[in-house]
């Protein structure tokens, strides 16, 4: 074990970096546990350092839902990068990433039928129909997220997505409108939106694969 006292930037508060090795056999990698000198009144000495974080770290990732990953291919990458920002203590910018993830998911959800049509037209050779579908898709995704949320056909899902957008906007703007809610509430609303969409899409797959039998 190696302990390195390091002067922090911009003040007299110090940090203590302790070199360690991960005890998990399949890992065994070295890392630093960082401890910070607690704040004390001027002139008073406090020998007790408090654990702050470990570095370097391997950020966690979100478990993929197959139907959502198929619906919005970039959504989970955005969510993973936002989570990585949180875990690296970049909490001032993580919320903006989650807001972006919400926008990608909602836009891909609202335009999924157009995208399916575009994919089918790519193999048909009908350039005119493909161009028309592309213009239709572009006309939707170029709109503000608030407008697109209104296109969601399910009232409760629309309301949940709307509130997620409100909190996402708070994470990007100078002043906040929802001071009693934070990025954790934003994530919970995004998870609600995800679960609602996933349930609908999975149910639709079963309905499509099991058409009603015709009566003899």
Nearest partner of 158 among 199, 109, 111, judged by Cα: 109
Residue 17 is predicted with a pLDDT of: 85
Dihedrals phi, psi of 122, to nearest 5 degrees: -60, -30
Residue 10 is predicted with a pLDDT of: 46
For the entire predicted model, the pTM comes to: 0.78
Coil/strand/helix, residue 215: coil
* Cβ neighbours for 208, distance < 8 A, ≥ 6 positions apart: none
- Mean pLDDT for 12-17 is 74
Q: Measure the CA–CA gap between 106 and 72, rounded to whole angstroms.
A: 9
**Tokens matching residue 75:** 């959504």
Quote the percentage of the chain above a pLDDT of 70.
89
Nearest partner of 52 among 64, 37, 66, 41, judged by Cα: 37
Q: Evaluate the CA torsion angle 177, 179, 181, 182 in order and state its sign.
A: positive
Nearest partner of 187 among 88, 89, 80, judged by Cα: 80
pLDDT, tens digit (0-9, with 9 covering 90-100), for 126-177 = 889 999 999 999 999 999 999 999 999 999 999 999 999 999 999 999 999 9
- Mean pLDDT for 47-54 is 80
Residue 23 is predicted with a pLDDT of: 87
Residue 28 is predicted with a pLDDT of: 84
What is the pLDDT confidence band of residue 46, given thresholds at 50, 70 and 90? low
Q: Of 38-42, 64-68, 118-122, which has the strongest mean pLDDT?
A: 64-68
Q: What is each CA distance from 40 to 14, 43, 45, 163, in whole angstroms?
A: 12, 8, 7, 41
């Amino acid at each position: 074990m190696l302990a390195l006292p390091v002067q922090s930037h911009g003040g007299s508060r110090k940090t203590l970096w302790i070199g360690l090795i991960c005890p998990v056999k399949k890992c065994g990698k070295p890392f630093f546990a960082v401890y910070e000198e607690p704040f004390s009144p001027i002139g008073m000495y406090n020998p007790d350092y408090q654990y702050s974080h470990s570095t370097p770290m391997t950020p966690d990732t979100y478990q993929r839902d197959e139907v959502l990953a198929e619906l919005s291919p970039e959504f989970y990458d955005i969510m993973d990068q936002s989570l990585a920002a949180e875990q690296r203590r970049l909490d001032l910018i993580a919320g903006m990433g989650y807001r972006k993830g919400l926008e990608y998911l909602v836009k891909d959800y609202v335009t999924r039928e157009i995208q399916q049509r575009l994919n089918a037209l790519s193999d048909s050779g009908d350039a005119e129909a493909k161009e028309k579908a592309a213009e239709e898709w572009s006309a939707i995704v170029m709109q503000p997220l608030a407008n697109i949320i209104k296109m969601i056909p399910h009232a409760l899902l629309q309301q949940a997505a709307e509130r997620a957008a409100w909190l996402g906007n708070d994470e990007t703007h100078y002043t906040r409108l929802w001071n009693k809610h934070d990025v954790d509430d934003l994530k919970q609303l995004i998870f609600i939106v995800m679960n609602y969409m996933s349930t609908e899409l999975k149910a639709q797959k079963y309905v499509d694969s099991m058409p009603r039998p015709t009566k003899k």
